[in-house]
Amino acid sequence: MATQIFGEMLYYPQAECLNLTEFPSPESLKNRVIISTKPPKERFESNRIKDNGNYPVLDGSSESSEDESSGQESPDSANEVEIKSTNGRDRDEGETSSCECDQRLFQECSPDYKSIITIHNKKLKGSLKDKLKTDGELRRLSWSETTLEKASESHGTDIIRFTQKNILRVYPRATRVKSSNFKPYLGWMYGAQMVAFNMQGVGKSLWLMQGMFRANGGCGYVKKPEILMQKLHCDHEFDPTRIMPVKKTLKVKLYMGHGWSLDFSPTHFDMFSPPDFYSEVGIVGMPCDITKKKTKVIMDNWFPVWNEEFEFPLTVPEIALLQIQVKDRDPTGKDDFAGQTCLPVSELRSGFRSVPLYNEKGEQFKSVKLLMSFQFE
């Protein structure tokens, strides 16, 4: 069915080079479909094992059954882990139960199907360092946010080296039952190509994702910065946790804002008076670049004029985001949201700019904008 439906759009290695050692260029893969999943035999075995209920303790030398596709802790980041029952666990890429697999075993394990899987998501043996080796065929790892957090503490440069040739997918842990999100920079700064989100809610993590992918014309793909692609040497290894010298300084001046009186009712922020607006301006990026600053509060004014300038020294401007949020000061409770935007620093241009703001869902307001200027030194 896959070959019939996708036809010539489906890309897969030819018989003479079934195990890829280097990806084709993005240009050559435009408008193509690539399948990345577990080989059929491994998928069947892992699903059959999962139906047994409870799992034994696994050590680093044994095979992980589903650490790469569920929200449970993974042996990738520790020598041992206790995996409990699968109730409520995530299933990766359409996994089926063992009963369903028994019925369709011979259909699903066709050798023809295996040959069209370009990027294998395999169960791997050995230590974490072994699983991050870059020699041999290309592959994909799928880690929960917790697995990546633990792995990055001791194998940060190995992860970056792995993602230069292979695919790393990171997803929210399964215990986020309210569909909250983790900080996506955890994956981006180690070169993860796929950082999965819970899209049901709202919040700052999704604003960062929307901001990151405003780059490159908003097409949905962003080129990985050169600093994450350069060859690593022992004496010049890139480590996101290390303090590095400042490459450039971004100067941001926030002059004024307007448009709230057109997009909001007169009583939306305050029942008896105009709103009291202030702005938060900050950088999200490498740990040493993260900072946030505030303007003064402009009382009782739909057209706030701040005229304030902020400086942000940046060590890795290539993957930094400028985050702006406007709020209405509420002395009796939580300050009211009045707009936000997130902009890739790499795409900012010097000069005066009219910057549109977005609501909590990431939808652009019709009229609300900020007058700002940017300058690099």
Residue 65 pLDDT > 50, yes or no? no
Quick one: average pLDDT of 254-263? 97
Contact 367, 259 (CB under 8 A): yes
Residue 285 pLDDT > 50, yes or no? yes
For residue 148, what are the contacts with CB-CB under 8 A and spacing of at least 6?
77, 159, 170, 186, 187, 190, 192
d(CA 193, CA 32): 18
Through-space distance between the first and last CA atoms of the chain, rounded to whole angstroms: 56
pLDDT tens by residue, 67-121: 444 444 443 333 333 323 333 334 444 444 444 444 444 444 566 788 888 888 8
Q: Shortest CA distance to 340 belongs to which of 306, 319, 363?
A: 363
Give the strands of the sheet with 167-171, arranged side by side: 140-144, 167-171, 194-195
d(CA 284, CA 323): 7
pLDDT of residue 105: 47
d(CA 104, CA 49): 16
Report, in angstroms and rounded to the nearest whole number, the Rg of the chain calculated over CA atoms: 24
d(CA 259, CA 270): 16
Residue 215 pLDDT > 80, yes or no? yes
Give SS3 for 298. strand
Structure token pair of residue 135? 């020699």
pLDDT of residue 75: 37
Contact 88, 174 (CB under 8 A): yes
Helix boundaries (H) for the chain:
2-6, 40-50, 98-108, 111-115, 128-131, 145-163, 185-188, 204-212, 260-263
Residue 55 pLDDT > 50, yes or no? no
More confident residue, 144 or 102: 144
How do strand 80-82 and strand 321-328 relate by DSSP bridges? unpaired
- 18 falls in which pLDDT band (50, 70, 90)? low
Residue-by-residue DSSP string for 102-141: HHHHHHHT-HHHHHTEEEE-----S-HHHHT--SSS-BEE
Q: Shortest CA distance to 260 belongs to which of 245, 249, 276?
A: 276
Q: Shortest CA distance to 192 belongs to which of 121, 141, 125, 132?
A: 141
Kindly list the distances between the CA atom of residue 73 and the CA atoms of 54, 142, 248, in Å, as whole numbers in the listed order: 15, 12, 39
d(CA 246, CA 203): 30
d(CA 233, CA 18): 31
Quick one: average pLDDT of 242-268? 95
Contact 76, 131 (CB under 8 A): yes
- What letter would DSSP give residue 182? -
Q: Shortest CA distance to 159 belongs to which of 174, 146, 141, 173?
A: 141
pLDDT of residue 306: 98
The amino acid present at 166, given as its one-letter code, is: N
Kindly list the distances between the CA atom of residue 346 and the CA atoms of 247, 285, 290, 305, in Å, as whole numbers in the listed order: 12, 12, 16, 27
pTM over 0.85: no
d(CA 220, CA 253): 29
